[in-house]
Amino acid sequence: MKIFVPLTITSILLMSGCATSVQNQVAAQAPAATPSASSLHRYQCESGETIAAAYPSTDTARVQYKGRSYGMQIAVSGSGARYVGDDLEWWAKGSGSGSEGTLFSHLADGTSGGTIERCAEL
């Protein structure tokens, strides 16, 4: 009888440790959250082109323009949200129906180049 009780306690502790280990493995293997549909913004540009911008995280943007997708990283801005990547710059300002976005070329010295598109969110 004395041997049975310590073995039962030991068995319970071992089983609970295994359950925790399995839970941790499942959590580690779970896929990362994907951006919701609400994080996709569509813009109509003055030229007639459209731009779709998604913001998978607070530090990144994915901009679709003329059939290509550009991954961008957040950059310093005076106002609005500025993202830079692939020699382009996407600058979004405002929220809701009054928001706008501007696509610039991005220069090697880290500054904005010429304006490519001026757009209003749809």
Tens-digit pLDDT profile for residues 35-74: 344 489 999 999 999 999 999 998 999 999 999 999 999 9
Please say if the pLDDT value at position 13 is more than 80. no
Nearest to 52 by CA among 95, 90, 106, 98: 90
Nearest to 120 by CA among 42, 18, 54, 65: 42
Model-level pTM greater than 0.75?
no
CATH number of 37-121: 2.40.128
> Is the distance from CB of 95 to CB of 81 less than 8 angstroms?
no
Which pLDDT belongs to residue 24? 40
Higher pLDDT pick, 25 / 114: 114
Q: Indicate the length of the chain as a whole number.
A: 122
Which pLDDT belongs to residue 31? 35
